[in-house]
Amino acid sequence: MSYKVGIVGATGAVGQELISLLVDRGFPFSEIRLFASSRSAGKTLEVAGNSYVVEEAKAEVFEGLDVAIFSASSSISRELGPEAAKRGCVVIDNSSAFRMDEDVPLIIPEINPDAAATHKGIIANPNCTTAVALMGLSPLHTEFGLKRVFASTYQAVSGSGMGGIRELQAQVEDYVAGKTEFETETYPHQIVFNVLPHVDSFLDSGYTTEEMKMQNEGRKILGLPDLRVSCTCVRVPVFRAHSVSIQAEFERPVSVDRAREVIAAFPGVELCDEPLANKYPMPADYSGKVECGVGRIRIDTAFDNGLSLWAVGDQLWKGAALNAVQIAELLHERNYWAFNR
């Protein structure tokens, strides 16, 4: 069986990765249509050697499509996602618009694939750092029973889309040219040779919306409504792939050897944990890689029953485009297309 596929936000960083992944992974599409804002409509993009004109994303364009993968703003998803579903098109959404909607499953295929069967036309993709962190935490939760988490993220500029990538590139070039002051647009401060303890907007609590996603989305995906997470999200001058430092407390006695075993056996994860040989996951090694890397696994010295670990994953792939394509593959493999409109 083959499918008619639409991509909303096709001209963006994640949209470009979606196109490549659909082709490279052999997703069975018979037709592909590319959508974007009116500003980008009319551009030509290449898919598998063929040229396609980008169309403006409007409600009527979803008529006749089987699946649409959205990689646009939350406002666009909220406006057009229900319109697509109303027309019988399954929506896989990369934005935060529907993640916490109780009627919308939030899916990481390796962790909670069965939840996809309950969709009502819209399936949400998790936040990028949530996805990377949970790929390391999920097998440990199954083995030991996750109780609470402290985390610090090291997030690449790819998380800010093409704007973040261009800004870091421009500032690197300015630095090489001898400049000491840098133009900023995407970030409030220079990102080159700097770290910003600020990702997304601040809440009254002092946390950012990005930091709260780790707790709220983690609770939903793992089915742990009482999971407690304290997170600090940091933007770093890395082009691609996010890293997360994790300290986790568990219900049952932990073992480093057993933790390594369950991590190594978990689909979509690569154990990279030989610190004495300087082998541990790094963004440079996990950019453009399907698997997330997990290493630096050790007994936590602050928790009575805890583990510390380090997880790395490609923000544009497992944190966004790859996970969305894997959801489409899951729907295909299990025939989860039907839903109540």
Query: Cα(294)–Cα(210) distance, rounded to whole angstroms?
Result: 22
Just list the catalytic residues: 128, 242
322/93 Cα distance (integer angstroms): 12
Q: Which DSSP symbol is given to 14?
A: H
* Positive/negative CA dihedral, 335, 103, 127, 75: positive
Q: Are 78 and 100 in contact (CB under 8 A)?
A: no
Six-digit token pair at 233?
A: 């999200």
Which one, of 207, 255, 200, 197, lies nearest residue 230 by Cα?
A: 207
Strands (E), the chain: 3-8, 29-36, 44-47, 50-53, 55-56, 67-70, 90-93, 122-124, 146-155, 228-235, 242-250, 269-271, 292-299, 306-313
Q: How far is CA 167 from CA 106, 183, 237, in A?
A: 31, 8, 10
Q: Which residues contact 50 (CB under 8 A, 6 or more apart)?
A: none
Q: Residue 124 in contact with residue 105, Cβ under 8 Å?
A: yes
Taking CA atoms, 67 is separated from 24, 132, 326, in Å, by 18, 25, 13
